[in-house]
Structure formats: structure tokens, C-alpha cells
Amino acid sequence: MKIYTSYKPRYDYLIGSIVKVRFADINAPELDIPRGELAKEVLKKLIDYYHVFLDIDDKYVYDRYGRIIAVVYLPLNETIAL
């Protein structure tokens, strides 16, 4: 994901960078099982279509693989057409 803006000054260093994000509180199937690839495709359509908002975990900003941990929000009052 590309970071366009920050609402907390401590994350301003991320603006303009492309980061990998681990979605907090999401249990998605692994890519090596049948539904994993489908889940990835659906998520990619959502992320490519919308500018999403990330609420970065203040306690654990990064996971052990260097991904940012965040709750992801879609814009309000918009219809999702997949």
C-alpha cells in the first residue's frame, strides 16, 4: 500500500512510501489453501478501488516480518462493487 497522508505526526515518515500491511484482527486463509487465493483477489479489488484508512497499532507498529500492523477502514457511505 502507498501511504498518502498521516493523521499522527509520529507516522509522517511513512508518507510517500509503499509498505506491506498486516491487517489487525483479521483471520484470513493462507495462500496455499483453496480459499486463500480467492481471499487475496477479493482484497486486492477492494484495496485497488478505494483509498483505505489505516489505524496503525500504537503498541506493535511492526510484526516480525516488518509489516505494519493496522486496522483497515473503507470510506463511509460508498457502495462496494466487486
* Residue ranges making up the domain that contains 23: 9-73
DSSP string of 39-69, one letter each residue: HHHHHHHHHHHS--EEEE-SS--B-TTSPEE
More reliable by pLDDT, 1 or 15: 15
Whether 43 maps to a domain, the answer reads yes
Please report the pLDDT score of residue 50 as a whole number. Answer: 79
Whether 2 maps to a domain, the answer reads no
DSSP tally for the chain: helices H, then strands E? 1, 3
Tally the domains of the chain: 1
More reliable by pLDDT, 76 or 9: 9
Whether 50 maps to a domain, the answer reads yes
Predicted confidence band at 80 (pLDDT cuts at 50, 70, 90)?
Answer: low
pLDDT tens digits along 5-51 = 988 899 999 999 999 998 898 888 888 988 999 988 988 887 777 78
